[in-house]
Structure 1
Amino acid sequence: MKSEGSDWYKKIWSLDIKNQSWTENTAKEVDFIIDKLSLKEGERILDLACGYGRHSLELARRGFEVVGVDITKDYVDDANASAKTEGLPASFILSDLREVSFMAEFDAVLNLADGAIGYLENDAENLKIFDVIARALKSGGRSFIDIMSGDYADAHFPQKLWDNGENGVTLSLFEWDKATRIMMYGQQDFAYGEPLEKREFGGCPTRLYTKAEIAEIMRERGLTLENAFCNYDGAPASSDGIQLMALSKKK
């Protein structure tokens, strides 16, 4: 699979993502997050790499004050327009995540659908996102990240998967370099009713983390890993679960 380049995360996104199958479970995912983080109405939430704001907007509808940050202008403009139309307590900032400077302002920080974790050019840059999480949280605040699992990659990659949604089918291809901990991920989306054609997969290099790595990274920043799951049904994290959802608390 040909790489899209080290700066792929700046250029591949479009609002077509709204039609992808994995965006259909937003309400269920928000239910889970509110429950597991014991969020209380009125608390402030930071949504890093928020995309077009699907989780942020749903949280705002539930009575939370939300700030979303994303690097893609179309997403930020769309999210701000949606918040304004609905009169929601949500605002969206166009920025590279590494450049935000919140200090002890939020009760919860979310990195969902990867939340850009592992997307950056090297390990040192990727760790800066965890620095942002730690700085932004109040004492006692909670971090929730939903990423691809390095434990799963070690056990199961390379792999091909498909997801059958309401509007179409998503085909995913995963390659894995165990030495560098880099996953090469390619995805193609096919809407129902449209003619099929052969497409080439462009790969997005992503640094994956194991549960143990996340626990250590958080510990170094004054957070404690309290729980970890592999899906939004609450199953515990394992090498057989493709997702790693880590809930950590700041001291």
Structure 2
Amino acid sequence: MKAKASDWYKLNWGLDIKNMSWVENTGSEVDYIINLCGLKGNERILDLACGFGRHSLEFARRGFSVVGVDITEIYIDDAVKSAKEMGLSNTEFICCDIRDIASKDEFDVVLNLADGAIGYLENDDENLKIFDTIARALKHGGHHVCDLVCGEYADAHFPVRLWDSGSNTLSLSEFDWDREKRIMLFGNCDIAYGEVLRVPEIPEGDPTRVYTTTEIKEIMKNRGMEVKGAFAGYSDIPAGKDSFQMLIHSVKK
């Protein structure tokens, strides 16, 4: 599998992502975050790389004020349309690069979910700018939650292929690994139920910088934040080498 161009994150997206199996977990993921952060319902939330707004809309449906940001115009257009159809006036959706968000001490919660574009940018310096945006946007005492591929898992298990079945599709994901550069290549193939099964082909992968829990803790510390927990996905189990996904909860001091 070869790497896509370095600006792949600007070009890679379509609304077919709404049929992915993990979209079905949105409600339970929001439940988890509310409980993890002890949210009351009156907090202001910034959802970075919000996609078509699945988490933003679910938080807004529960009464939170939400600003969603994504670089993909069709996602933002779809999120705005969905908010109108749902009668949600407590949402705002902005189409821009995360690095261009200048909010300061404004939000109670910042989210980077389903990677939230962390690690997607052209090099390490650019990737760190996302963490700068996070720390700057949060109020003191505010919460940050991200879920990412776990670097410890990558070191222990990559390269690997994984299958996932949802209500509408069967998904095959492939993960290649450059251990020295800490770059994962992710490719995916979706097969809708009812279609003739074909040989899965994944010729290209998205180059993504993958972090260990130790790296995330140091990055957050350097920005006046403290990691309160690192979990194996949306669970109470500590993240480790057998946790494909890690969910990191941090608080701004």
For the criterion TM > 0.5, the same-fold answer is yes
Q: Following superposition of structure 1 onto structure 2, how do residues 112-191 of structure 1 map, counting pairs within 5 Å? A: 112-191=113-192
Residue aligned with 1:25, SS: helix
Listed one character per residue, the Cα deviations across residues 160-193 of structure 1 (whole Å, up to 9, x for unaligned) are 1000111010101111111000001110111000
Give the drift of 1:137.
Answer: 0.1
Letter matched to residue 242 of structure 2: D
- Decide which moves more: 193-202 or 129-138: 193-202
Q: 2:252 corresponds to which residue? A: 250
Are residue 76 (structure 1) and residue 76 (structure 2) matched? yes
1:27 aligns with 2:27: yes
Return 5+ residue gaps in structure 1 as ranges. none
Per-residue deviation at 1:196?
Answer: 2.5
Q: Match for 1:209 among 205, 208, 211?
A: 211
Equivalent residue, structure 2, for 1:44: 44
Query: What is the alpha-carbon distance in structure 2 between the residues aligned to residue 74 and residue 21 of structure 1?
Result: 20
Matched, 1:103 2:104: yes
Mapping of residues 212-251 of structure 1, within 5 Å: 212-251=214-253
Give the CA RMSD over aligned residues. Answer: 0.8
Q: Which amino acid aligns with 1:8?
A: W
* Distance across 2 between alignment mates of 1:200 and 1:166: 22
C-alpha distance in 1 between matches for 2:162 and 2:51: 23
CA offsets 1:58-108 (integer angstroms, 9 cap, x no match): 000111000000000010001011112212111110001101111110000
Distance (whole Å) between structure 1 residues aligned to residue 125 and residue 160 of structure 2: 28
Question: What is the CA-CA distance between 1:199 and the residue it aligns to?
Answer: 4.5
Which residue in the other structure is 2:10 paired with?
10
> How many aligned residue pairs are there?
251
**Map of 1:57 onto structure 2:** 57
Task: Give the Å deviation of 1:250.
Answer: 0.3
Quick one: distance in 2 between partners of 1:192 and 1:98? 39
Does residue 196 of structure 1 match 2:200?
no
CA positional deviation for 1:231: 1.9
- Compute the TM-score of the two structures, normalised by the length of structure 2: 0.97
Query: 2:27 corresponds to which letter in structure 1?
Result: A
Q: Distance in 1 between matches of 2:241 and 2:14?
A: 32
The more displaced of 144-153 and 197-206 is: 197-206
- Maintained 8 Å contact 2:147/2:233: no
Q: In structure 1, the residue corresponding to 2:74 is in which secondary structure?
A: helix
| CA–CA separation in structure 1 for the residues paired with 2:141 and 2:36 | 14
Structure 2 portions without partners, runs of 5+: none
Give CA deviations for 1:188-238 in whole Å, capped at 9, x if unaligned.
111000122334312100000000000000000000001111121322111
Q: Provide the identity percentage.
A: 60
Moved more, 229-238 or 124-133: 229-238
| Amino acid of the structure 2 residue aligned with 1:179 | E
CA distance in 2, matches of 1:73, 1:40: 31
